[in-house]
Amino acid sequence: MKWSVKSLLGAFIFRVDNLKTNLIGSYIKSRLLFCGKDVFLKKGVMIDYPSKVSIGKGTMIGQYSHLRGGGGIVVGEWCQISSFVNISTVNHNVNGEKYFNNVSYKGIRLGNNVWIGTNVTVLPGISIGDNSIIGAGAVVTKNIPANTIALGVPAEIKGKVPPLLEELGADI
């Protein structure tokens, strides 16, 4: 096999990047309130107040997503959170005072097997039910029930998702 300098450098850089990402991911996971088995954090994931964030097993959080966890975030098992997602438990108070340091927090809960599309924003106090899908670019301003598809700005329920086979007792 013939190796070029470019392919050798590319392979080296890829490995170093993976090593760096894995080390940073391991450090972040060690700081979480809870982190299940087989949780994967892709490059650039940021988590504020990790001691208030729980992530269930088998969950993947995509590149450059930001979890602002000051009010507490619970992410269920087997969730797929795409790239550039913003899950924020903090908001500025609108009370006639300066916005600087004038904030309030409300927790967020994502059920099991939730799929969040690219560039979604989830606002404080929101709960997204098990087995639901939030379409790319949506802004979630209201709770989303289980087994639903929500799309748009603001996100609205547009369809249903079949219940998980596991919930029906089928052997997968």
Please list the active-site residues.
92
Phi, psi of 141 (to 5 degrees): -110, -10
Judge contact between 90 and 68, C-beta under 8 A: yes
Amino acid occupying residue 59? T
User: What type of residue sits at position 102?
Assistant: N
Does residue 74 contact residue 93 with C-beta atoms inside 8 Å? no
Cα gap 99→71, rounded to integer Å:
18
CA dihedral 19→21→24→25, nearest 10 degrees, is: -110
DSSP 15-71: HHHHHHHHHHHHHHHHHSSEE-TT-EE-TT-EEESGGGEEE-TT-EE-TT-EEE-TT
